[in-house]
Amino acid sequence: MIDYPSIIQKIKPSIALILALDAKGDLTGTGSGFVFMKKDILVTCNHVVSGASSFLLKFSGTTQLISGKVAVKDEEHDLALIKFNDDTREPLLLGELDKITEGMSVIFSGYPLSSKDLTTHQGIISAITTDETGITTYLIDGTVNRGNSGCPLMDSFGMVIGVVNAKRVVRKDILDKLEGMSVGAV
């Protein structure tokens, strides 16, 4: 049996609400992110940070807002890394990616619908797809809402196996370029 309460207590301090602000300091959107690889790096989706001038991060159980700055953006894969100053947050660990199968139990924790409270959902991997550009996507049978973008997709042990992204679509412009490429040496 999966011990959800223990897993949630373990991962909770490493998952943040992201407040995206414009140049005037007005809120333009929210999303989720998680500490990964290093204590001061937060992973999220690029569309969560796109167009914003600055960011504030709020971790569960605190009232403190921490400023963050985008360190890396990858528009093609819709990922971004935010650097922040707080070395007390433990990074979530990477799961065994070669063990991911259809039907396996997953959990994901984030801040949906502009919630100020961390919410954890459970589900299963309902399908594993790979598009024409080689990007693998796990389709989840579980409740994903606006604001969950950027939260960790985890196995039943709380280990990261992906990033939740409800906006992921096949990029037709990339596929068109691939189709127009010549094969062979020049």
Position 65 scores a pLDDT of 96
Lookup: tokens for 155: 């196995």
Q: State the pLDDT at residue 175.
A: 43
**Gap between the Cα atoms of 31 and 29, Å rounded:** 7
Q: How far apart are CA 171 and CA 92, in angstroms?
A: 29
Supply the pLDDT for residue 173: 47
Nearest to 49 by CA among 76, 72, 24: 72
d(CA 54, CA 27): 10
Closest CA to 174 of 129, 131, 130, 133: 133
pLDDT value for 170: 44
Specify the pLDDT at position 5. Answer: 94
3-state secondary structure the chain: CCCHHHHHHHHHHHEEEEEEECCCCCEEEEEEEEEECCCCEEEECHHHHCCCCEEEEEECCCCCCEEEEEEEEECCCCEEEEEECCCCCCCECECCHHHCCCCCEEEEEECHHHCCCCEEEEEEEEEEEECCCCCEEEEEECCCCCCCCCCEEECCCCCEEEECCCCCCCCHHHHHHHHHCCCCCC
165, 78 contact by CB (below 8 A): yes
Decide if 143 contacts 124 (C-beta within 8 A): no
pLDDT of residue 172: 44
Give the other-Cβ count within 10 Å of 73's Cβ.
Answer: 15
State the 10-residue block means of pLDDT for the chain, 186 residues long.
92 96 93 94 94 94 94 90 94 94 96 89 93 85 87 95 74 47 44
